[in-house]
Structure 1
Amino acid sequence: MPFLNKLQLWADEHPYDTAVVVGNARRTWADLRDAASVLARDAKATTILAERNSVDFVERYVAAVSGERRCAVLDPEWPEALIDEVSLRLVDAPATGRKKPGGAEPTGLPAGTLVDGDPTTTFLVGLTSGTTAMPKAFTRSRRSWQVSFDASIAFFGLTRQDRTLAPGPLSASLNLYALSECLYAGAAFHTLESFDVGDAHAAISHDGITRLVLVPTMLRLLSERGLAGGVDASGVRSIICAGSKLDARTLEAARRWAPNAAIFEYYGASELSFVSGTELPADQPLDAGGTGIGSPFPGVELKILDDAGQPLPDGEHGNICVRSGMVSNGYLWGDDGHALRCLDGWYTVGDQGFVKNGILNMLGRQSDMIITAGKNVYPHEVELALASVPGIDTAIAAGAPDDIRGQKVVAGVVPAYGAVTATQLRTGLDGLLARDKRPVQYYVLSELPMTDRGKISRNVLLDWIKNHDPRAVPLG
């Protein structure tokens, strides 16, 4: 992995400084190096980790990528049968990257050696979320993450003096990357055994946290409850968010709760790594709303191409395509030809967007697009606008069958407090969303529509509407 040489350096230079904290457990740089070195003696060519956050997880992860070994991190919340099936496939899957003479799989340097292997070799097998079927498996080279580290450390301003809290599961790529980035940079990394608002607030208050890495839903919870409970976040200097665009309510709460923090948001994909990003400095006014998600990330070239690979002019939407040294190697399995694609040297995962005045605007997946009366509408754009309406906690939009329009835009909303009316929603969208993109029917949701694997689903929303489910009540 592209952080082991650095870990050895930090263990030599700062052996007793804190490297990792998980809940109440702590490891210094020397502790982490020594524990991982022992584990590396028996590490296999491929290690599979499917467990919750712990310092043991961190030690095994470090050992698992020593030399030219590779690691696959699975979501421990997956059904046991799915974990078993994925694990069997991973054991049988060939390694990618450089091969040893005779075609043997690379098994690394001498046992117990914590050094980075050849940059071209695979160190990580990433897996998609697996919401409806067997997740796709893709691979990352050591070089791709070192390039990513150098770019993200510079963009986010990470220093050795920072203390990063990423309170989510390490099985999620956002948090696993944050851990790895901190090990590379020599900065202390904190996480929780499981996400808990009170535990996160305690870490911020008592551990000197200067940096948060989290998804928008977590940021809203921490900010709003922190404000209500008087939790001091003035020492937080940067907040880094990914997963979805920040809405106005979350931005405003975060700014009030952590007034000295620069707020970063970025767009990326597991197979592409970073694509674009933006920073809102602490002393600048909020500019919420819209679909803009920043300029190309350092080291990334960005173009909007049509399905034939032809460039599109500014303002016209198409495939978001990149060229960078951070792109993954491709898939071990699951490539259906519509996921990671290469269009004349430019890579895309099918996300749609457009560039205007140098800013990338994210619209969503092409497969999610609603065609209503000949107009293309992306649910993501509708959801962002609805989430900015006062009194709305979250929103989800979808395309329902319609005899006249082909499809019609419908939306479900979860109120933040009290009751909500259709008139309130329609009025709230003025200036936020073009009239031909607005929902024709609204529903108040008692809960978000989820799959049995815990993912928000537009198809489940449509099923609720079709079957008159009491969890989706129509607004007049």
Structure 2
Amino acid sequence: MDFASSLEFWARSAPERIAVANVHEELTFLELALRAQAFSQQLQDVEEARVGICTSDPVTMAVGFFASVLADKSLAILDPAWPSELFLRLSQQLGVRSVISEVPLAEETGSLMVQLDPPKVRPDNPLLPLTQHLASRELLVICTSGSTGLPKAIVRTQDSWQQSIHAGAALLGAVPSAVTICPGPVSHGLSLYALVESIVTGGTMIATGRFNLSSLIELAELYACTRLVSVPTIIDRVCREVQHSSLASLRTVVSGGEPLQQDTVDRLFSLPSVESCVEYYGSSEHSLIAYRHRHAREEPGKTFKGTLFPGVEVHIHDQSPNAGFGSLFVDSPFIATGYDAGTAVQIDRCGTSTGIGDQGRISHRGQLELQGRGGSMFNIHGNNIHPKEITLAFGEIGLPGVRVDAEVRDGRTLLVAYAVLGHAALEELADQLARKLPTYKIPHELVLLSSWPTTASGKSLVHGYRNYEELVVKRVALR
């Protein structure tokens, strides 16, 4: 079924079932359908084809998403963590003049935008038949971390996500009986997809909107969550910091973004009821690509090796003659249209296939093995972070040549910037970076070195700077 038909089906067949909830509010399927129906009438009055949404609230996101579907509007996802300068720049680039938000927009942006707040409705209002628009229409613009210093705006059709959910939901445990908890940022692709997937399949989505451990524990206990969807760094923290009794109902764990560490998998299977751990590989540009099941006390190797989702085909460009790795190109009904025409970035194409720099190879059994992405990217607490984006921001404020690394300290993954001692005004760095980058992309610390460490052959090191304490001149806390 299409999105509108799915929402109407569950609103009529299971009206009292909880569709989405956060710490402060919950909506049944009937309440969600009624609120989306009422809000869609307001969205139809917006002149522009695109409407923005800027929220950390999963309830607002659910209402805004389905209201935009019913109103035949494309929904541009704007990250609440963006600084005002970036928010305005992206909004203007995408042609967005009206923004859905349940909280007031920042003063410097609010005067240039029309704010839309989803209305409350009476539960006894009549639910009218929900109208579905063309499947080929533009559904979403999702902005993901880019290596150019500006997020990449990815455009996708409604049909691409409908087919992706249809192909992957059962494999990922998204079934009507599932009570899914998703503790990551709801404005990011993985959490947003999980939200829509859960509602469309008739399950219950419980979300914190952004990572908050106490909220996660409260919700997991209150709703007896059976399914966890997140990224490895957050899943690992859940395993380490949440008591087993709070996760007594958890049966299925779904992980995306990068491979889980084996000790995290072992901890998952030590929980009372966990039966399945599914790890999947995908991207905002391609949606679902491949998946694998993880098991306790296994030796999975250092790379991801998985089975392609139904409907996905891949091929390799520039394959190395020895190892067989090369540039991965993906073709499926799930792939995005491309990047927004207002950006200078173009997606790599080969016929109907597209590539984004992932390196992979195909085994003789037809499995996909991934080596990583050209131009390294970090995934920290559910946030994809391109080091180049941070390097460019430092350069713009007078400290060029900064190198960025992700380091684990006392069990926490920190973003650390390194530079050779320069002449930048260090006391102003944090404020200047806050005007350039979202908070989660600002390094926790800047470490100034007397010189770059080198290898025995004299080449400059790319990573591992923390091992050269003798070169450290000064440490500057940035957040």
Q: Scaled by the length of structure 1, what TM-score is found?
A: 0.72
Quote the residue 2:64 is aligned against: 60
Letter in 2 for 1:331: Y
Quote the residue 1:453 is aligned against: 438
**Aligned with 2:294 (options 280, 303, 317):** 280
Per-residue deviation, 1:116: 2.4
State the alpha-carbon separation in 1 of the partners of residues 281 and 342 from structure 2.
23
Query: Which structure 2 residues correspond to residues 68-217 of structure 1 after superposition, within 5 A?
Result: 68-91=72-95, 114-130=130-146, 133-217=149-233
The answer as to whether partners of 1:124 and 1:141 remain within 8 angstroms in 2 is: yes
Task: Give CA deviations for 1:116-137 in whole Å, capped at 9, x if unaligned.
Answer: 2101111111112257623222
% identical equivalent positions: 27
Per-residue deviation, 1:22: 1.4
**Helix, strand or coil at the partner of 1:186:** coil
State the alpha-carbon separation in 1 of the partners of residues 452 and 321 from structure 2.
43
**Helix, strand or coil at the partner of 1:367:** coil
Query: Which structure 2 residues correspond to residues 66-465 of structure 1 after superposition, within 5 A?
Result: 66-91=70-95, 114-130=130-146, 133-226=149-242, 229-257=243-271, 259-280=273-294, 285-306=297-318, 315-333=323-341, 336=344, 340-357=347-364, 358-368=366-376, 413-416=407-410, 447-449=414-416, 452-454=437-439
State the alpha-carbon separation in 1 of the partners of residues 80 and 406 from structure 2.
30
State the alpha-carbon separation in 2 of the partners of residues 336 and 165 from structure 1.
37
Change (3 A) 1:155 1:90: same
Instruction: Tell which has more relative contact order, 1 or 2 (C-alpha 8 A, sep 6+).
Output: 2
State the alpha-carbon separation in 1 of the partners of residues 256 and 81 from structure 2.
21
Change (3 A) 1:206 1:411: closer
The answer as to whether partners of 1:125 and 1:140 remain within 8 angstroms in 2 is: yes
State the alpha-carbon separation in 2 of the partners of residues 313 and 327 from structure 1.
29
**Helix, strand or coil at the partner of 1:198:** helix
Change (3 A) 1:248 1:462: farther
Per-residue deviation, 1:203: 2.0
Per-residue deviation, 1:198: 2.3
Per-residue deviation, 1:305: 1.7
Letter in 2 for 1:245: P
The answer as to whether partners of 2:41 and 2:71 remain within 8 angstroms in 1 is: no
Per-residue deviation, 1:234: 3.6
Quote the residue 2:114 is aligned against: none
State the alpha-carbon separation in 2 of the partners of residues 299 and 277 from structure 1.
13
Letter in 1 for 2:63: E
The answer as to whether partners of 1:162 and 1:188 remain within 8 angstroms in 2 is: yes
Change (3 A) 1:303 1:8: same
Letter in 2 for 1:221: R
**Helix, strand or coil at the partner of 2:67:** helix
Quote the residue 1:474 is aligned against: 468
Task: Give CA deviations for 1:199-254 in whole Å, capped at 9, x if unaligned.
Answer: 2122222311111110111101110112xx44342421211111111112322222
State the alpha-carbon separation in 1 of the partners of residues 130 and 321 from structure 2.
49
Letter in 2 for 1:297: F
Per-residue deviation, 1:466: 4.3
State the alpha-carbon separation in 1 of the partners of residues 163 and 448 from structure 2.
44
State the alpha-carbon separation in 1 of the partners of residues 88 and 195 from structure 2.
26
Letter in 1 for 2:206: H
State the alpha-carbon separation in 1 of the partners of residues 196 and 406 from structure 2.
38
Letter in 1 for 2:69: V
The answer as to whether partners of 2:155 and 2:339 remain within 8 angstroms in 1 is: yes
**Helix, strand or coil at the partner of 2:368:** strand
**Helix, strand or coil at the partner of 1:293:** strand
State the alpha-carbon separation in 2 of the partners of residues 135 and 447 from structure 1.
21
State the alpha-carbon separation in 1 of the partners of residues 94 and 387 from structure 2.
36
Say what the alpha-carbon RMSD is for the aligned residues. 3.4
The runs of 5 or more residues in structure 2 that have no matched partner are: 98-127, 380-385, 389-403, 418-432, 454-464, 471-479
The runs of 5 or more residues in structure 1 that have no matched partner are: 94-111, 369-378, 384-395, 399-409, 418-444
